[in-house]
Chains A and B, each alone.
Chain A
């Protein structure tokens, strides 16, 4: 199509790719909303110790089951009189902590394995079988096992989730590597005398970066939800430290009396996951060089 392939003249102003991506991102109102929500969440989590109105573990039985809007408790209190808002803020902290740790683990292991699987046909068979193995392994059994060996904690929950995400990362990185490997600029490097590490590090990895980034932004909410599930089952963060998941599980028992104690953390999880997903989608669209038509 003549129009879409229109080439840029050498004389036009240098519009760096990064700037173009940011421009595209900011033009999308949904993306902006998502980014705003993420910004708020991150700030709340990072500055929770200073911003939170109350201590998250501070019980106050006299104020138990206070509804939202009660003086001093914007989102109400739970069965032990603990401030829901403060607990959510600290819970966010835990959730983001897990999310980032889990994704970091999965990337640290998955990206190199994916690169090697895509690049070296001999190793591909081996790595693919390993991926199938991990995929087949029930995630919860893995988490339970880990908790049994090393004790239930936030960190171990993160590791369990990270391991469960490795196959997804491998698959994506592998297919991107396969695609890039067949491009002429990789062949050109080989003909110039580049060795495999050079090609992988200098040509393939940087070009796979955008795919990896998008994958990460979408994997984080999955990890957060995973943590919610694990903590719900008692395999993650230990009480009285709050996590969005434990708040949900605790609130089960008194949901009729204080629905806000379940709804609020639930909403928080949902909004956070949604924001990450939206930003991830928008980032993927913005990074796609072919999507330059509205």
Chain B
């Protein structure tokens, strides 16, 4: 069993002039949960789609359990399909409204049967489907239902059942709880945590919700405008975030406790978002960074290991031992709200 479930090396994805992903390198060790965090336009969803080969990367490498799948054609990709699965954000759109839940969850197995790599213990597809449904907390009778009869939370469970039925090495979860209510999010997050612990798959958890990240992730990678600005173990990213953007992100996420929240001063970055077609020169974050210096406008920062324990950051102002600016203590940029 290879050490890394996934390796991304300098992944690049351009859509014509839009440079959605511009050099992302990341490893996911088997059995770990890595959260890929970013706001809209960061490119995190695109990374997810490259990994499952819904897109063919423009450059760089995607290695799934030691197999280079970056430019394989459809036919050669087939044997690798069972190693990776994806769960999407929209519970309504990710299930075919014309099929029954049983057909939907069983589809990966039927495809495997056609390819000839259906394991013996899953030959009885309806039974395997019933097992998968039970594992995600749904009664097997749900197999007879149509997606539109289910609630959002139930549909996400069906999505998860479908994704895990082929026993993948890696699960890509693209904003799996963003479209759900708070209490339903809780049950899906609990489910993902339980399943991950029991089945041992690696997981790329793509999200913008930092509190969910803190709950679920072992490691965190932060993206901004197509590039990784910081990555490392969860405790370090949340405890001692080094990159100004990570710090701003953490400070902006409101905490559900009025006393704490009202004592905080969020870092305000300004609404002028740069475009992926013509990204800023040098460090892409410099146009909104409260502590940017001249060097940041001209020189692209390289991702370096800082401090201890696999913590990497791409910022000129952070020293090798991890010391650097903390924009949360800076006088807040009040120029934005005149």
Contact = CB atoms under 8 A, between A and B. Distances in A.
Contacts of B151: 7-10
A206 interface: yes
Contacts of B90: 184
A198 interface: yes
Nearest to B146: A17
A185 B154 contact: no
Contacts of B154: 10
Contacts of A190: 54
23 contacts: A7-B152, A10-B150, A10-B154, A12-B149, A14-B144, A14-B145, A14-B149, A184-B88, A184-B90, A187-B54, A187-B86, A188-B86, A188-B162, A189-B96, A191-B85, A192-B81, A192-B85, A193-B78, A193-B115, A194-B111, A198-B111, A203-B98, A289-B148
B146 A16 contact: yes
Interface in B39-82: 49, 52-54, 74, 77-78, 81-82
B206 interface: no
B112 interface: yes
A203 B162 CA distance: 16
Interface string A1-37: 0000001111010111100000000000000000000
A10 B112 contact: no
Contacts of A289: 97, 148
Given A184-B94, A207-B96, A189 B107 contact: yes
Question: Which of B78, B108, B145 counts the most A-chain CB atoms under 10 A from its CB?
Answer: B108
B109 to A, nearest CB: 9
Given A185-B95, A206-B98, A17 B148 contact: yes
Interface residues of A, number: 26
Given A184-B93, A185-B93, A191 B150 contact: no
B93 A191 contact: no
Contact of A193 (B82, B86, B96, B145): B82
B166 A10 contact: no
Contacts of A8: 148-151
A183 interface: yes
Contacts of B94: 184-185, 188
A176 to B, nearest CB: 13
A9 B149 CA distance: 7
B142 interface: yes
A195 interface: yes
Contacts of B89: 184
Interface size class of B (residues with CB under 8 A): 35 or more
Contacts of B78: 193
A188 B151 CA distance: 19
A166 B78 CA distance: 36
B283 interface: no
A214 to B, nearest CB: 16
A194 B162 CA distance: 14
A203 to B, nearest CB: 6
Given A14-B149, A190-B54, A193-B108, 8 more contacts: A8-B149, A17-B146, A183-B93, A191-B84, A193-B111, A193-B112, A198-B111, A289-B97
Contacts of A183: 93
Contacts of A206: 98
Nearest to A180: B96
Q: Which 9 A-B residue pairs are closest in the complex by CB-CB distance?
A: A193-B81, A184-B94, A7-B151, A184-B88, A184-B93, A185-B96, A192-B108, A206-B98, A191-B52
Interface string B19-55: 0000000000000000000000000000001001110
Contacts of A188: 86, 88, 94, 159, 162
B130 to A, nearest CB: 16
A17 B97 CA distance: 10
Interface in B236-294: none
Residue among A14, A17, A194, A206 facing the most chain B CB atoms (10 A cut-off): A194
Nearest to B80: A193
Contact of B142 (A7, A10, A192): A10
A210 B334 CA distance: 55
Contacts of B152: 7
A7 B148 CA distance: 8
Contacts of A16: 146
Interface in A56-106: none
B108 A207 contact: no
A292 to B, nearest CB: 11
Given A8-B148, A207-B97, A192 B88 contact: no
Contact of A187 (B88, B115, B149): B88
